[in-house]
Amino acid sequence: MKVWSIANQKGGVGKTTTALTLAGLLAKRGKRVILVDIDPHSSMGFSLGIDCDELDYSLYDLFTCPEKFTQRLTKRVIQKTQVENIDLIPSSMALATLDRELGHREGMGLILKKILHGIEDDYDYALVDCSPVLGVLMVNALACSSRIIVPVQSEYLAFKGLERMIKTLLIMQRSNSNHYNYLIVPTMFDRRTKASVQALEQMKVKFESRVWDKVIPIDTKFRDASERNIPLPQFAPRSRGVVAYGLLLDTLISQEASES
């Protein structure tokens, strides 16, 4: 099972949309996907029509239960979605308290890795949708991922946030001697606006080949799909957003193939 995280400390840049759309595309290609929602706001679950406030168990229970119960409990936490080949590990509001409760406990950074290890034969891909908060949850996500996808909204302020996010990645890379392969993905690109075009140029100057050589365009169909509670590839397979994410998925798969 490959584990990819979608992360950026800035909010509203397209993280959840990226995770959902890549999951939808992978599912259509016959891959089994587990989506991991580590955002206490549960946007991923709600986007899939799952009311995370009503569930008996969530990722929070896996973080707080004794390790010997993890594998058994994981099977209970996992929710089927209405999309074939996509399951979900849902979040809950309680996750927001984890930093305070457990943040300093030894081994806290590797819990998600252990959870996913227990189901690695059941799925081809795990996609981890991060919250915009840098804390123990993001540390867990980065520690178990072979690839980090960093969506960045194509505008000036998002670019400032990006510098911070990459610094964070580098600091964490040093502290746990992990090597992160990250790809910066310009999202919500509007080629008619100067701000989008300029932001993209700045990103490419600063981060060079770390920036994906294509862009995800603005597409209002993303909102329509989330209102219908399904990923866009299942809702409007020919939309330009889906075509763009299809190219992104091809890039990610070929990058990973060339590394192994």
Q: Which of ligand ATP, Mg ion, none sits in contact with 188, Cβ below 5 to 8 A by type?
A: ligand ATP
User: Smaller CB distance to ligand ATP: residue 59 or 74?
Assistant: 59
By CB under 5 A, is residue 16 in contact with Mg ion? yes
User: Smaller CB distance to Mg ion: residue 10 or 15?
Assistant: 15
Distance of alpha carbon 244 from alpha carbon 96, whole angstroms: 33
By CB under 5 A, is residue 2 in contact with Mg ion? no
CB 17 within 8 A of CB 68: no
CB 148 within 8 A of CB 4: yes
The residue nearest Mg ion at its CB is 16
Give the one residue of 2, 15, 123, 145 binding Mg ion; rule: CB under 5 A. 15
What are the tokens at 125?
């891909």
Distance of alpha carbon 131 from alpha carbon 137, whole angstroms: 8
Min dist CB 77 to ligand ATP, Å, is 20
By CB under 5 A, is residue 153 in contact with Mg ion? no
By CB under 5 A, is residue 43 in contact with Mg ion? yes
Interface residues with ligand ATP (CB under 6 A) are 11-17, 39, 43, 132, 187-188, 216, 218-219, 222-223, 226, 241
Min dist CB 72 to ligand ATP, Å, is 30
Cα dihedral angle (158, 166, 35, 60), rounded to 10 degrees?
-100
What are the tokens at 86?
């996509």
Distance of alpha carbon 100 from alpha carbon 97, whole angstroms: 6
